[in-house]
Amino acid sequence: MRIIPAIDIIDGKCVRLTKGDYNTKKIYNEHPLEVAKEFEAAGIEYLHVVDLDGAKASQIVNYKVLEQIATKTNLKIDFGGGLKSDKDLEIAFNAGADQITGGSIAVKNQEIFESWISTYGSEKIVLGADFYPDATGGKIATNGWQEESSLELIPFIKEYQKKGIQYVICTDISKDGMLQGPSFDMYKNILKSCHSEQSEDSKDLSTTLKVIKKIKLIASGGISTFDELPKLAEIGCEGVIIGKAIYENKISLKQLEQFIINN
């Protein structure tokens, strides 16, 4: 399982929010590059960068920070937040992103998001499935989590799985920044549902070929202790995004370094 620390950016600074609420902003470092270098020094290879200004503005904003991290570290960067147009994507990839994550765009403009999958391939385009839990499982949220859609989480993921998506970052917004543990049961349900899709479609060879690749599920939101990481790996998560737990010293970089060495 890949360890993927998160750097969220507002005004070029490394911040964290609670449940996506911009009013809860806490600045951890005014220089995101310093933070990224600390991660790299601990043997970490991957980084999740979120342009929170971009998420609000509905266009890429903090691409200079992305460019700085990409040129001055060897981290493989997944970049998201406000990517709404082909131009936004071009800027992000030119600035050094290895992957981009599309959340709101996948809900509000499926046509353009599907064109990105076709153009760049499923290794480069990540589906952001951010949700508020409810009685049916969860509803997808958009626009920096400020809006809730009527789309149900698992059908939403399965639909894009059929369209070729492999990587899915799934964030339980109710847990984000709360340090109360991740949504283990939801991740189990997603993996079970998405992987059973293959047998359901086995009679239709063309469809089967599209969904034969299993979802690479990346857990996000609520990570609070080191002990949760092996549990997520056991469930079958391909990666885990860790934010506040690192910044609040609930999980040390030394622990993450050991996890990477041992796995």
pLDDT in tens, 78-92: 999 999 999 999 999
Give the CA angle between residues 162, 168, 170 to the nearest 5°: 125
Question: What pLDDT was estimated at residue 96?
Answer: 98
Most confident of the following: 15-19, 25-29, 212-216: 25-29
Decide: helix, strand or coil at residue 102.
strand
Question: What pLDDT was estimated at residue 205?
Answer: 46
Catalytic residue among 51, 53, 88, 130: 130
Question: Between 104 and 4, whose confidence is greater?
Answer: 4
Q: How confident is the model at residue 146 (pLDDT cuts 50, 70, 90)?
A: low
CATH of the domain at 139: 3.20.20.70
For residue range 156-170, list pLDDT tens digits in order: 999 999 999 999 999
Q: Is the pLDDT of residue 58 over 70?
A: yes
Q: How far apart, in whole angstroms, are the C-alpha atoms of residue 169 and residue 238?
A: 10
| Bridge partners, residue 134, by sequence | none
Give how many domains the chain has, as a whole number: 1
**Helix H or strand E segment including 5:** strand 2-10
Q: How far apart, in whole angstroms, are the C-alpha atoms of residue 49 and residue 77?
A: 7
Mean pLDDT, residues 13-26: 92
What's the mean pLDDT when you consider all of the chain? 91
Cβ-contact 78, 97 below 8 angstroms? yes
State the sign of the Cα–Cα–Cα–Cα dihedral 64, 21, 244, 137.
Answer: negative
Question: What pLDDT was estimated at residue 144?
Answer: 58
Owning domain of residue 23: 2-262
Question: What pLDDT was estimated at residue 196?
Answer: 73
DSSP states of 167-198? EEEEEETTTTTT-S---HHHHHHHHHHHHHHH
Q: How far apart, in whole angstroms, are the C-alpha atoms of residue 199 and residue 197?
A: 6
Residue with tokens 């020094």: 41
Q: Who contacts 37 (Cβ-Cβ below 8 Å, separation ≥6)?
A: 72, 73
Question: What pLDDT was estimated at residue 141?
Answer: 85
Q: Is 9 left (phi over 0), alpha (psi -120 to 50) or beta?
A: beta
| Bridge partners, residue 21, by sequence | 18
Q: Who contacts 99 (Cβ-Cβ below 8 Å, separation ≥6)?
A: 76, 77, 78, 79, 123, 124, 125, 126, 167
Q: How confident is the model at residue 142 (pLDDT cuts 50, 70, 90)?
A: confident
134 catalytic residue (yes or no): no
Helices (DSSP H) in the chain: which residue ranges? Answer: 32-41, 52-57, 63-72, 86-94, 104-108, 110-120, 153-162, 184-200, 205-211, 228-235, 244-247, 253-262
For residue range 197-236, list pLDDT tens digits in order: 554 444 454 444 443 468 999 999 999 999 999 999 999 9
Q: How far apart, in whole angstroms, are the C-alpha atoms of residue 223 and residue 159?
A: 27
Mean pLDDT, residues 243-260: 97
227 catalytic residue (yes or no): no
Q: How confident is the model at residue 145 (pLDDT cuts 50, 70, 90)?
A: low
Q: Identity (one letter) of the amino acid at 39?
A: F
Cα 79 to Cα 62, 91, 263: the distances in Å are: 10, 11, 25
Q: Identity (one letter) of the amino acid at 243?
A: G
Mean pLDDT, residues 17-24: 89
For residue range 100-120, list pLDDT tens digits in order: 999 999 999 999 999 999 999
Question: What pLDDT was estimated at residue 195?
Answer: 85
Q: How far apart, in whole angstroms, are the C-alpha atoms of residue 166 and residue 135?
A: 27
| Bridge partners, residue 172, by sequence | 131
